[in-house]
C-alpha cells in the first residue's frame, strides 16, 4: 500500500503552487498600481473643431466689398450676429 504521508505531500505541493501563483498575481497587481501612480497621466486633449464647424461672428466686411452688415443680414434673413461655416450668404 502507498504511504499516506506521501499523498499529503502531493496535496501540499499543489497547494503551495496555488499559493505561490496567487501571491505572484497579487504582487504583480500591487507593483503595477504603484508604477501607474508614480507616472503622470496624460489625458488626450480635445482637438479644436475643424474650421467648417466653428461658429463665427459677423464683423464689418473688409474692403473692397463695402456692404453694410445690416444689408447683408437683411438679404439673408438673419437676426443675430452668429453664422456657421458652410452657410451661403447673399452679398447684396
The per-residue pLDDT string of the chain (92 residues; one tens digit each, 9 = 90 and over) reads 445 555 555 567 788 888 888 888 888 888 888 877 776 666 667 676 666 655 666 666 655 667 888 898 899 998 888 888 888 888 88
| Cβ-based burial of 18 (10 A; exposed 0-12, middle 13-18, buried ≥19) | exposed
Quote the domain boundaries for residue 74: 51-84
91 located within any domain: no
57: nearest Cα among 66, 48, 69: 69
The count of domains in the chain is 2
37 located within any domain: yes
pLDDT at 19: 87
Statement to judge: residues 1 and 35 lie in one domain: yes
pLDDT at 49: 62
pLDDT at 30: 87
pLDDT at 26: 87
90 located within any domain: no
Amino acid at each position: 500500500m502507498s504511504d499516506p504521508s506521501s499523498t499529503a505531500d502531493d496535496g501540499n505541493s499543489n497547494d503551495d503552487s496555488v499559493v505561490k501563483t496567487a501571491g505572484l498575481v497579487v504582487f504583480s497587481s500591487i507593483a503595477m498600481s504603484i508604477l501607474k501612480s508614480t507616472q503622470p497621466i496624460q489625458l488626450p486633449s480635445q482637438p479644436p473643431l475643424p474650421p467648417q464647424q466653428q461658429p463665427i461672428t459677423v464683423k464689418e466686411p473688409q474692403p473692397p466689398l463695402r456692404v453694410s452688415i445690416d444689408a447683408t443680414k437683411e438679404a439673408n434673413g438673419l437676426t443675430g450676429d452668429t453664422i456657421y461655416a458652410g452657410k451661403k450668404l447673399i452679398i447684396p
